[in-house]
Amino acid sequence: DAKTTQPPSMDCAEGRAANLPCNHSTISGNEYVYWYRQIHSQGPQYIIHGLKNNETNEMASLIITEDRKSSTLILPHATLRDTAVYYCIVRVAGTSYDKVIFGPGTSLSVIP
């Protein structure tokens, strides 16, 4: 089962920042938070990941709370092409295996 909780849907006005929340209250100390998105039926696209520090790249910023129990993905200036399902994932790994489990995600609609 997915270890994260996300709102099922969100709207955002074009040009505004989209802030997508994710709860991962059972995260372990060595587990990373990853964000992906899936536009229609295309393959999921990697966005960003982090362990405990905030991260930024050309696509987005990732803010992780100090207790690591939640995080927020920020798309600074949302465009219509950012309309997609966004998945927040905690990597679950044992000593020799790695399952990457996707939950239902958040369906983001960017509105003109």
Partner 1 sequence: DSGVTQTPKHLITATGQRVTLRCSPRSGDLSVYWYQQSLDQGLQFLIHYYNGEERAKGNILERFSAQQFPDLHSELNLSSLELGDSALYFCASSARQGLNSPLHFGNGTRLTVT
Chain residues that interact with partner 1, rule: CB under 8 A: 30-32, 34, 36, 38, 41-46, 49, 51, 87, 91, 93, 96-105
Question: Cβ atoms within 10 A of the Cβ of 109, count?
Answer: 14
Question: Cβ atoms within 10 A of the Cβ of 22, count?
Answer: 25
Q: Which is nearer to partner 1, 14 or 102 (CB)?
A: 102
Q: Which is nearer to partner 1, 12 or 87 (CB)?
A: 87
Rounded Cα distance between 101 and 34, Å, is 11
CB of 92 to partner 1, least distance (A): 9
CB of 98 to partner 1, least distance (A): 5
Q: Mapping DSSP to helix (H, G, I), strand (E, B) and coil, where does residue 84 land? A: strand
Rounded Cα distance between 100 and 33, Å, is 11
Q: Which is nearer to partner 1, 13 or 101 (CB)?
A: 101
Q: Which is nearer to partner 1, 12 or 48 (CB)?
A: 48
- 104 to 21, 79, 82: CA distances (angstroms): 14, 22, 17
CB of 43 to partner 1, least distance (A): 4
